């Protein structure tokens, strides 16, 4: 589906910060066929938008040296569309979260902030200017799902309920309960409680990109220098997914959805 607008509380954009921008462009072009388009954002700095045809799907940029020196690993950041980023961000502290970066303007493109929920997962809030978000979602080689893996699902639900007005529906799954997140009538993502089996992995938001063949994407990732974190696995009634890591260490997931007629 082509997309030009998103409801309040819906994920709308994703970007990757990594030390080697050229390597990011090469890897993701090889995996998803994304075509990179560079836009200047400072002296010798570019913001690279990944395109599928004429539609933007996500982006990458060079991680700041201070972040690299602090040991911040390469990571995908997910953005949530909000009607008023200042008013929404103002709710974060009282709801038990942390404001990592208070609202600031990104030229005329939009206004954003970065926040953490009480369990420590970071996410961005986005109030659109000239950039409303991705031009393509829920199609092959574009974002199709967003998932919070959290050490405290109860606190996360309370937090996002207060800050974004999200509502939650618990669904039984073969591996345990899974929580569907809705903003109004729109399904915006999912949430799962992390167990001891996760070890020391911190709470995090995981973007999923739709693919035609999860096994082939997993193989291609390895051929391009990436790694398999969770091998291709079936989710009954949903599809086949894999958790992958690019050559610089950023995690993401791919999902081969079950055809609609098979659901």
b vs e for 85-112, b when ≥16 Cβ sit within 10 Å of the residue's Cβ?
beebbeebeebbbeeeeebeeeeebbbb
The pLDDT tens digits for 220-252 are: 999 999 999 999 999 988 999 999 999 999 999
- pTM for this prediction: 0.95
The confidence score (pLDDT) of residue 3 equals 56
The confidence score (pLDDT) of residue 260 equals 52
The pLDDT tens digits for 91-118 are: 999 999 999 999 999 999 999 999 999 9
The confidence score (pLDDT) of residue 185 equals 96
- Measured between alpha carbons, how far is 37 from 59 in angstroms, rounded to an integer? 9
**Domains plus CATH for the chain?**
11-128 (3.10.180.10), 143-262 (3.10.180.10)
Q: What strands, in cross-sheet order, belong to the sheet with 176-183?
A: 167-173, 176-183, 186-193, 143-150, 204-210, 251-257, 239-245, 227-235
**Across-strand partners of 128?**
110
The pLDDT tens digits for 139-155 are: 999 999 999 999 999 99
202 φ/ψ angles, rounded to the nearest 5 degrees: -75, 165
Q: Rounded to whole angstroms, what are the CA distances from 144 to 85, 98, 156, 167?
A: 24, 27, 22, 19
The confidence score (pLDDT) of residue 94 equals 98
135 φ/ψ angles, rounded to the nearest 5 degrees: -90, -5
């Amino acid at each position: 589906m082509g997309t030009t607008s998103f409801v309040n509380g819906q994920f709308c954009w994703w970007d990757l910060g990594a030390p080697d921008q050229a390597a990011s462009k090469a890897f993701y072009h090889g995996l998803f066929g994304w075509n990179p388009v560079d836009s200047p954002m400072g002296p010798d700095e570019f913001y690279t938008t990944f395109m599928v045809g004429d539609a933007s799907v996500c982006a990458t940029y060079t991680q700041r040296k201070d972040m690299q020196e602090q040991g911040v690993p390469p990571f995908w950041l997910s953005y949530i569309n909000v009607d008023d980023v200042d008013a929404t961000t103002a709710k974060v502290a009282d709801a038990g979260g942390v404001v990592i970066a208070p609202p600031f303007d990104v030229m005329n493109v939009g206004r954003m902030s970065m926040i953490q929920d009480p369990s420590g997962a970071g996410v961005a809030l986005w109030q659109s200017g000239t950039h409303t978000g991705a031009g393509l979602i829920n199609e092959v080689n574009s974002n199709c799902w967003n998932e919070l893996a959290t050490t405290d699902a109860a606190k996360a639900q309370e937090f996002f309920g207060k800050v974004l007005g999200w509502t939650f529906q618990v669904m039984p799954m073969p591996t345990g309960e899974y929580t569907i997140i809705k903003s109004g009538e729109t399904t915006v993502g999912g949430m799962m409680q992390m167990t001891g089996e996760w070890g020391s992995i911190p709470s995090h938001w995981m973007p999923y990109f739709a693919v035609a063949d999860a096994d082939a994407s997993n193989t291609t990732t390895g051929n391009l220098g990436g790694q398999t974190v969770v091998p291709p696995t079936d989710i009954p009634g949903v599809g086949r997914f894999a958790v992958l890591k690019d050559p610089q260490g950023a995690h993401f997931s791919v999902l081969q959805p079950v055809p609609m007629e098979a659901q």
